[in-house]
Amino acid sequence: MDRQNIYIGLGSNLNEPRLQITNAINEIKLLENCDFILNSSLYKSPPMGPQDQPDYFNSVLKMSSNLTAIKLLDKLQNIEQQHGRIQKERWGARSLDLDILLYGQQVINSDRLTIPHLGLYIRAFVLYPLYEIEPKLILPNGVALSEQVKALGKQDIEKII
């Protein structure tokens, strides 16, 4: 398989979220057959779903790899588990969430994985960090990322570092 540019969304709102994200980025850098390119600043936003949980911290990482999307998903889920991820409810609090947002220009719809990520086009906490590192990106739906960000509007998101 040819190397693909891949974008990973990182999120956390438990157990020192900034540290969780920093550590996850460092662990992703060590994955075999994966080359780290860069990551965005850290962004803070209110939680989706239940509001009785802490704010989320999010970042987006760009990497390249020749792994299949499913093999990469397995590796990312292993990192989540090492960080104590237990998903009790949809959109609930979590120590670490790693999502494959884009895998080249591939479109994947399987029981385990949907790419582009279902929330990609509507979530400021994904689009803003992605735009920071890849402002000229054309999304798989053919729309420029810059136009998608513009259409979304500001929402409640704060760039931290």
Residues serving a catalytic function are 85, 94, 97, 99
Residue 45 β-bridge partners: 56
Name the CA dihedral angle for 136, 139, 145, 147, rounded to a multiple of 10 degrees: 120
| Separation CA 101–CA 116 (nearest Å) | 5
Q: Please provide the DSSP assignment of 34-92 as one string.
A: EEEEEE---EEEPPSS-SSSPPEEEEEEEEEE-S-HHHHHHHHHHHHHHTT----STT-
Please calculate the CA angle 51-121-2 and round it to the nearest 5 degrees: 125
* Cβ–Cβ < 8 Å for 4, 104: yes
